[in-house]
Amino acid sequence: MAKNPYTHPNSDEAHDTAHKTTETSKSDRLEAFRSDAEGHDLRTNQGTRIADNHNSLKAGERGPTLMEDFIFREKLNHFDNERIPERIVHARGAAAHGYFQPYAEAAEYSKAGLFQDPSKKTPVFVRFSTVQGPRGSNDTVRDVRGFATKFYTDEGNWDLVGNDMPVFFIQDAIKFPDFVHAVKPEPHNEIPQGQSAHDTFWDFVSLMPESTHMVLWTMSDRAFPRHYRNMEGFGVHTFRLVDKQGKARFVKFHWKPLAGTCSLIWDEAQKLWGRDPDFNRRNMWDDIESGDFLEYEFGIQVVEEEDEHKFDFDLLDPTKIIPEEQVPVTPIGKMVLNRNPDNFFAETEQVAFNPANVVPGIDFTNDPLLQGRLFSYLDTQMLRLGGPNFHEIPINQPVCPFHNNQRDSMHRQTIDKGQASYEPNSIDNGYPSETPPAPENGGFETVNERVDANKIRARSASFGDHYSQATLFWNSQTEVEKEHIIAAYTFELSKVERPWIRERVIQQILPNIDLELARRVGENHGIETPAEKPAPAEELGTSSQQASEALSLMARLPHDIKYRKVALLVADGVDGDQVEALKAKLEAEGAKGIVIAPSMAPVKATNGQQVVPDAMLNGLPSVTLDSVIVVGGAESAKALSQSGLGLYYVQEAYKHLKAIAAIGEGKDLLSAASVPTQEDGIFLGATVDDVFTPFTEAMGQHRVWSRDPKANSMPA
């Protein structure tokens, strides 16, 4: 009898021989279940060889994806069910309730009910998230951020499921499982968590030139939002809006933060991993609790259908933007997030977004990535939330009445009355009944688009430009932002173990964006770069626009200090009158002064009063706040100067390019910490009035960028 290659742990044979089995033999007993793909064909789960793993089956090169594509369906089905119960991507999230209110212009573009009445507020629930990491990862990792909005309209739920970056890594949804498998922790050791600095990610993106544009965005400061209130949002795909006359237009959706855009810097983000891994979610929660609500303007880029092909890129390509100089963003509404969830699990964790959830007046396009998402999200939610009745979970229920003939299954909450669960019927007087399409309050009607094409696995030639918009993005960055991108590529690739992957990125990808970018990163890795762009002309593409101010974060600075948080450093002997004056002045500007002391014990002030600290030096470090003021008082400055934590506080703030002010004797702390007091962004004065105006002007610029090269030498 042939020897059994594997003995089930509960079998008699396993029980009899258990005392002979060592710990190391467990690996051998599992060998029969291991599989190595080396040298094997790519096949379906049923063994069919796959000829094309890059393109889903479509009706024509630019037509809709066909659901008869069993290879696509099997791949997405399997992928969508790979994690229980955590989301496969966007697992770590934070959310808030609020409302959307349209402007009068909105009704011109769509018949959707939520756009018709400028006085009407539509409830929303918004979930922000990181993409790669699990629920227990950090808020400040280098990553894309999800920006998903559920509108609870009178016509049903509309889910705008977007990101804080307007493009994506792939063009066709059939590659989504491959991308996520590559960016996730490597399967042999589950490392690294919440990061893209590893071999599988860079191997994949260096072999997929279409990902170049999105990778460049993630190497920029966009990957570290300072606060969710300072983060843009994008629908990514091209959608359609349909007006009351039935006219359809292509649109791109935008969320513009009214507080302006700004970011963390890399070293600051790294330190926040250990000091406050909940940094972004905590800030949003605390601000909403204190009444500092998050506000965004909702805008659309509108392209008439007859202008679909007038651009030097394809509107259906999700790796491309429409530059705002070519099609300006038209504001059509405002969103305010003003209430925190009551229960994280019941709301933030159980909310189910799906880009297929639309209402009359909003429709899809043939973007092949969007087409796949329309299938994938529903498939995922049915597993993650226990079956097809997840729409009955309170956070997912529409606010309008809803009736259909879908009954039974797990976790059914509704007790349906009536005998008929089919349509048409006469037993229940024909209800629930259809609603014919109409300019107002009608049923959903798909845009009438003619499709006349052969079935084909291919990609339109108009999707072949992989680099022109990456070059556009690079050219649009300030010199400071470019230096950060160079540093990002340098660091990320230093974590890649296989040299040929680093070489491929530096020699075959980066030069196609910009030769100087490639040269600088190549120097940092000791890798020579080509003198000319190596990609073929069709992949390099062409762009009629060389730069776009809208692509630079620094172009959207608020230039005020509203919502900023300022550390007021104090110790026994502080000038109490200065503390009160600073808090009042900051509050008048919409900012908040936070008193930081060596301990939580009340601080004795020179005016005989006590100052109650909000936090300790090591409890709310400078990386968690926007700027620092050292309050006057000889004894206070002396005590802080003799504290390692006090010295480190201002050193770290200096290193991270934050505005720093010192009043009176407070300058002694800066001297003791070797902070150069003659440099930009350092303000000294005898009184509060001496420093306040220039200090707040510098803080309105978010960082003192002129200090960047010198600050890197600070050991903090």
d(CA 606, CA 176): 63
Closest C-alpha to 602, from 572, 566, 633, 637: 572
d(CA 543, CA 320): 11
User: What is the 8-class DSSP label of residue 341?
Assistant: -
Active-site pick, 90, 198, 227, 466: 90
DSSP state of 508: I
Contact 504, 430 (CB under 8 A): no
Set 55, 138, 163, 230: catalytic member = 163
* Nearest to 238, CA basis, from 249, 251, 254, 255: 251
Dihedral over Cα of 166, 170, 176, 182: its sign: negative
Helix, strand, or coil (residue 302): strand
Best CA proximity match to 138, nearest among 129, 147, 127: 129
**425 is an active site residue:** no
3-class SS of residue 252: strand
DSSP H helices, 413-526, are 468-475, 479-494, 499-504, 510-513, 515-525
Token digits for 107? 């009704």
Q: Which positions ≥6 away from 26 have C-beta within 8 Å?
A: none
Instruction: Give CA angle at 485 (482, 489), nearest 5°.
Output: 145
First-to-final CA distance of the chain = 69
Question: Strand, helix or coil at 596?
Answer: strand
Rg (CA), the chain: 28
Pick from 159, 162, 163, 176: nearest CA to 353: 159
Structure tokens at 437: 């399409």
Rounded Cα–Cα distance for residues 459 and 437 (Å)? 34
Cis peptide before 85 (omega within 30 of 0): yes
What is the Cα–Cα distance from 593 to 613, expressed in whole angstroms?
A: 11
Q: Which residues contact 682 (CB under 8 A, 6 or more apart)?
A: 654, 660, 661, 662, 670, 675, 676
> Tokens 């349209």 label which residue?
102
The kind and range of the H/E element at 28 are helix 25-29
Rounded to the nearest angstrom, the gap between the alpha carbon of residue 40 and the centroid of all alpha carbons in its chain is 36
Using CA atoms, how far residue 364 sits from 160, 241, 370, 640, in Å, is 12, 9, 8, 60
- Helices and strands (DSSP H and E) totals, the chain: 21, 20
Is residue 237 part of the annotated active site? The answer reads no
Type of residue found at 238 = T
CA–CA dist 696, 16 (Å, integer): 77
3-class DSSP assignment, residue 85: coil
CB 642 within 8 A of CB 673: no
CA dihedral 478, 265, 591, 561 (to 10 degrees): -10
Count other Cβ atoms within 10 Å, centred on residue 86: 14
Task: Tell the residue number behind the tokens 């969103």, with chain if given.
Answer: 335
Rounded CA-CA distance 149/132 in Å is 20
Say how far residue 214 (Cα) sits from the centre of its chain. 12
DSSP state of 602: P
Which residues are 9's β-sheet partners? none
Using an 8 Å Cβ cutoff, are 171 and 463 in contact?
Answer: yes
Catalytic residues, which ones?
Answer: 90, 163
